[in-house]
Each structure stands twice: as C-alpha cells, then as structure tokens.
C-alpha cells in the first residue's frame, strides 16, 4: 500500500495547480464576459482568452496530459493522470486550456489506439495540436441508450462506401465552431454476434447529409460555446476508410473508451466537489446571522464533515480504479468503474446542493455553483445512468455466490 503519488505525477500536479491558480482562475470572469459579449444563440464564438491560455499552457508543455503516449502527450498512466484531472475539475474552463476536455480526449484515445496512419494524420494530429475539436455521436433520442442493443442508427457498407443514417442527440461539442469531425456509432451488421454489430465512423462535420437539428439545453444551459446537439445523419456517404479499425468493432472500441473516460469524468467531479466545499466553508465563515458565522449555526458543521468524508472516499475509490485499470486491465475494474460512476456525481450533487443552500439567495444566482450542479446532474445520466451502474455492481457481487 502506498498512497503517495509518483514523482512524475507530483511534478505535473504542481505545475498544473500553479497554472490554474495563477493563470486560469483569474481569467474565468473574462472568459465569461467575452463569451456573453460575442455570442448569440445562433453563432457561438470562442472567447479569445481561451486561445491565449491554451498557447501559454502548450508552451509550458502542460498539454495533452491525458494521453499515455510520452511523445504525443504527457505519458501519464491513468493513476498518474487522475489527480491532474481532479485539479482541472476545479474550473469549468481548465480542461480545455490543457487540451484535455471531453469528448476530444476520448476521441483522441480512440484514434491513438485504433486509428490507422491516415486517420491519425487527418484528425488526431490537429486535435492534439488544439487546432480543431470534435464530437461523439452515440446516444439516440428515441430509445433507452442505457441498453446498447437498442441503437437504431446504421452504418451500412455499400461497395466502397459506408452509408450513415440515423438521429443522435447529446452529441457534445457539436456547437463549437472549431468542431471539425464526429465519431459516429451505428449498426453495420444486425445479424452479427451482439458485440460485433456496430461500427465507429469518422464523419467530417461538413459531410453532406449531416445536419444539426437543434442545440439541446441541459438543465436550462446551452453550455456554449460547445453545446450538445441533436444531429440528423441523412444518407451520409463516406469512403470505407472512415471506419475506425474496420467494420464491427464499434462495441469493442466503445468499451475501451469508456473506462478511462469515466475515470476522468469522476476525477473532474471530485475536483469540482472540492471547489464547492471550499465555497461552502468560506461562506460559512464569512457570513454572519444571529450574531454568529453560519459555521457555528445548526448542523452546518455536520454538513461540512459529511462532504469531506464523502469526497475523500470517492477520490480513493476512483484512484484505486485508475490504478487497477493500469495494472490489471479493463475486465478487473468493472465493479470499481461502475461504482465510481455512481458515487462521484452523487457526491458532487450533494456537496453543491449544500453549497448552494448555505449561499441562500446568492446560491440561486451563482454561476459557478450552478455550473457544478448541472455537471453533477448530467453526469448521473451521461455515460450510463446510476441505475445501470448499480445493476452492474450488484450483478458482479451476486456472481460471487452463483
């Protein structure tokens, strides 16, 4: 047992922590102001401060930290990247600053592991440069996506082409003007074995037949300038070379993508929880009612203690999942990954709810707390709802006795 992070992790953590503190946090307000000033509903623009921050981070080598490859990225394994992801989770804009924001990270990993040279050249390189962004089109509006066999979109092979049809939503990032391609998942061979039916296809945003029907609000927010799209794929024809790793491997790729992706999400949620708890504590010390700081009133200290205990436990289980994924591989961490996917967003929701409550009227209007509440609530649904992950944990537990 050794709970200290590796030296490499600590070095990156220190640099990222300092950069966020000195460069990112002070710019959060400018970012927001620029966003409001330059954007309207139909055409979002990227706040210039973001590109400036990206350039600075890139210059310092704080770039693509999620990618385990030491040449293209930082060469951190999951357990070393996890605490870095937590730090980024403290700010809504930090992940992008370090070119570490979803869904680009997951898409880059897919291309890195499964892409051929041409695909890497065309899409992975500009993505890793931070020149373009990308989307991921998997969830569908008409069916319960928690059950993957429900998927209705198709990626049919016709001669040299793959022809794509279907309607997707929660295609995150698709509203970003820099978004140049999507990874699309659809059924290629409905007769194949259950896990060999789907393909993943690289779809340029400007391919004929790709149409954004609307941007979908998430708890009232559009999450501009990235957003979540409902996208129609109407007979989109692409060369077969657009299929990643060949037809029928979509499910396999999705599974490999989800493990690290869920760990990143959870660590960011834990980072956000820390920020929310900090807000809670500061407010409880700074605000006076009935002659006392709120911290000395009622059950507020119990709430603070419960938050601290929940966060620390969630972090350890997430780190353990990251470690086990590194050391023992995907099949050994099914319980842990599902567990943290339930725990971390629920912890964040609890902490943020408490932070909002202690802020009173200000908590209702506070942009940051509201961002975190939306993040928590959405994460309890995205990438598999709580219910599906609890069922997985229970199934594996009961399996020990069957």
Q: Within 199-218, which residues bind a copy of itself (CB under 8 A)?
A: 216-218
The SS3 call for residue 164 is strand
Query: Is 230 within 8 Å of 211 (Cβ atoms)?
Result: no
Q: By C-beta, is 260 or 363 nearer to a copy of itself?
A: 363
Residues in the chain: 402
Size of the site for a copy of itself (CB under 8 A): 95
One of 150, 190, 208, 332 touching a copy of itself (CB under 8 A): 150
One of 5, 45, 56, 120 touching a copy of itself (CB under 8 A): 5
Q: What residues from 336 to 355 belong to the interface with a copy of itself (CB under 8 A)?
A: 336, 339, 342-343
Q: What residues from 368 to 397 belong to the interface with a copy of itself (CB under 8 A)?
A: 370, 373-374, 377-378, 380-382, 385-387, 389-395, 397
One of 37, 59, 331, 398 touching a copy of itself (CB under 8 A): 398
How many other CB atoms are found less than 10 A from the CB of residue 252?
15
Distance CA 321, CA 327 (A): 10
Q: By C-beta, is 11 or 51 nearer to a copy of itself?
A: 11
Token pair in block for residue 144? 């319960």
Q: What residues from 313 to 332 belong to the interface with a copy of itself (CB under 8 A)?
A: 313-314, 316-317, 319-320, 322-324, 327
Q: What residues from 261 to 300 belong to the interface with a copy of itself (CB under 8 A)?
A: 277-278, 281-282, 284-285, 287-290, 294-295, 297-300
Q: What residues from 74 to 93 belong to the interface with a copy of itself (CB under 8 A)?
A: 79-80
Q: By C-beta, is 228 or 257 nearer to a copy of itself?
A: 228
Min dist CB 277 to a copy of itself, Å, is 8
Min dist CB 61 to a copy of itself, Å, is 23
Q: Considering Cα of 142, then 232, then 378, then 77, what sign does the dihedral take? A: positive
- Dihedral Cα 94, 19, 261, 214, nearest 10 deg: 10
Q: What residues from 242 to 261 belong to the interface with a copy of itself (CB under 8 A)?
A: none
**94 belongs to the binding site for a copy of itself (CB under 8 A):** no
Q: Phi, psi (5° rounding) for residue 310?
A: -70, -45
Query: Is 145 within 8 Å of 185 (Cβ atoms)?
Result: no
**312 belongs to the binding site for a copy of itself (CB under 8 A):** yes
Indicate left, alpha or beta for 32 from its phi (over 0: left) and psi (-120 to 50: alpha). alpha
Q: Which helix (H) or strand (E) holds 279?
A: helix 250-286
Distance CA 76, CA 242 (A): 29
Sole residue written with tokens 């092979």: 157
Q: By C-beta, is 132 or 334 nearer to a copy of itself?
A: 334
């Amino acid at each position: 047992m050794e709970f200290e992070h590796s030296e490499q992790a600590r070095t990156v953590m220190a640099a990222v922590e300092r950069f966020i503190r000195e460069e990112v946090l002070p710019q959060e307000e400018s970012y927001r102001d620029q966003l409001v000033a330059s954007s309207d509903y139909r055409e979002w623009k990227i706040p210039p401060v973001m590109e400036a921050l990206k350039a600075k981070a890139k210059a310092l080598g704080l770039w693509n930290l999620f990618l385990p490859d030491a040449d293209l990225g930082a060469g951190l394994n999951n357990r070393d990247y996890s605490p870095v992801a937590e730090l980024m989770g403290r700010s809504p804009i930090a992940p992008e600053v370090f070119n570490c924001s979803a869904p680009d990270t997951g898409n880059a990993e897919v291309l890195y592991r499964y892409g051929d040279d041409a695909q890497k050249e065309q899409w992975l390189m500009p993505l890793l440069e931070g020149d373009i962004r990308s989307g991921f089109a998997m969830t569908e509006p008409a069916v319960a996506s928690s059950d993957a066999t429900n998927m209705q979109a198709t990626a049919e092979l016709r001669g040299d082409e793959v022809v794509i049809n279907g309607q997707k939503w929660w295609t995150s990032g698709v509203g970003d003007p820099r978004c140049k391609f999507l990874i699309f998942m659809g059924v290629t061979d409905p007769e194949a074995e259950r896990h060999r039916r789907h393909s993943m296809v690289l779809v340029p945003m400007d391919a004929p037949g790709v149409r954004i029907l609307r941007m979908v609000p998430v708890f009232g927010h559009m999450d501009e300038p990235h957003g979540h799209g409902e996208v129609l794929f109407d007979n989109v024809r692409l060369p077969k070379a657009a299929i990643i790793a060949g037809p029928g491997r979509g499910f396999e790729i999705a599974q490999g993508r989800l493990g690290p992706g869920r760990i990143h999400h959870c660590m960011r949620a834990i980072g956000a929880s820390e920020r929310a708890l900090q807000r809670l504590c500061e407010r409880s010390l700074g605000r006076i009612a009935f002659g006392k700081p709120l911290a000395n009133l009622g059950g507020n200290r119990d709430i603070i203690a419960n938050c601290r205990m929940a966060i620390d436990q969630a972090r350890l289980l997430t780190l353990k999942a990251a470690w086990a994924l590194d050391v023992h591989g995907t099949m050994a961490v099914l319980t842990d990954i599902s567990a943290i996917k339930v725990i971390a967003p629920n912890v964040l929701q609890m902490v943020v709810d408490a932070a909002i409550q202690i802020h009173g009227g200000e908590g209702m209007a506070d942009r940051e707390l509201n961002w975190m509440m939306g993040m928590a609530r959405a994460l309890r649904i995205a990438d598999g709802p709580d219910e599906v992950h609890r069922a997985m944990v229970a199934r594996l537990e009961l399996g020990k006795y069957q």
